[in-house]
Amino acid sequence: MPLERLGLQKTTLLDYPGRVAAVLFTQGCPLRCPYCHNPELLQGPPPDSFLPRGEIRAFLHRRRTVLEGVVITGGEPLLHQDLGDLVEEITSLGLAVKLDTSGAFPESLERILRDRPVDMVALDLKTRPERYHLVGGRGDDLLRSLEVLRAWGGRYLLRTTLAPQVVTPEDLDALAALVRPDETWIHQPLREPPPRDGG
């Protein structure tokens, strides 16, 4: 599925540590988290609020002196074969890229980190690997994605949304045993989706 249209949040001070950033949303996700705030992004055509790639490019070009980075999130960005081209397009404007992923596509993650100038990655630890069926995913993919990040050498952080439907205190204990002491692991509350605005 080519990245012809993207959702845009013009500014965030929260989603890219240390940088003023814009957020781009991609369409499509293989997981089915019961608390998903973006159900319109899971399948089907992009929502009407999504903008053509050219408009996104023009916006980033105009704001390139104000912004310091761009977060690419989803859905699941790694679903898209041309994600690497989007990364190049953004970095050619002098903006750093942070990639958010659920860890569902470890091979694609490895390829893009090897071949493209991604600055930072956020990987979701949704629950302990043995219970990934609760979000429609595979724990093996998560573990492989974690291995890829550890071998990469770039900046990454791990995130767990405290959604009681899928993550219990026992799951958090199991994840704590998985996370290394030198890794950044953020616990975030369930929150409302950020506003998405066009242009």
Check: CB of residue 7 under 8 Å from CB of residue 24.
Answer: yes
Q: How far is the CB of 28 from ligand SF4 (least distance, A)?
A: 9
Q: Please tell me the distance from the alpha carbon of residue 78 to that of residue 141, in angstroms, as a whole number.
A: 13
Check: CB of residue 179 under 8 Å from CB of residue 185.
Answer: yes
Site for ligand SF4 in 72-131 (CB under 6 A): 74-76, 102
Nearer to ligand SF4 among residue 28 and residue 117 (C-beta):
28
Check: CB of residue 63 under 8 Å from CB of residue 108.
Answer: no
Check: CB of residue 96 under 8 Å from CB of residue 69.
Answer: yes
Q: Pairing between strand 21-25 and 69-73?
A: parallel
Nearer to ligand SF4 among residue 32 and residue 114 (C-beta):
32
Q: Which of 38, 131, 174, 178 binds ligand SF4 (CB under 6 A)?
A: 38
| DSSP-assigned beta bridge partners for residue 71 | 23, 98
Q: How far is the CB of 42 from ligand SF4 (least distance, A)?
A: 6
* Contact status: 69 vs ligand SF4 (CB under 6 A): no
Q: How far is the CB of 37 from ligand SF4 (least distance, A)?
A: 7
User: How many CB atoms within 10 Å of residue 24?
Assistant: 25
Angle CA(37)–CA(97)–CA(11) in degrees, nearest 5? 55
Cα 169–chain centre separation: 24
Q: Which of 21, 24, 29, 142 binds ligand SF4 (CB under 6 A)?
A: 29
**Binding range to ligand SF4, per CB under 6 A, among 19-27, 32-40, 52-60, 139-147:** 32-40
* Contact status: 36 vs ligand SF4 (CB under 6 A): yes
**Binding range to ligand SF4, per CB under 6 A, among 14-22, 38-46, 63-71, 139-147:** 38-46
- In 3D space, the residue among 10, 8, 2, 14 whose CA is nearest the CA of residue 159 turns out to be 14
Q: Which of 32, 62, 133, 187 binds ligand SF4 (CB under 6 A)?
A: 32
Q: Which of 8, 21, 23, 33 binds ligand SF4 (CB under 6 A)?
A: 33
Judged by the rule CB under 6 A, the positions of this chain that interact with ligand SF4 are: 29, 31-33, 36, 38, 41-42, 74-76, 102, 135
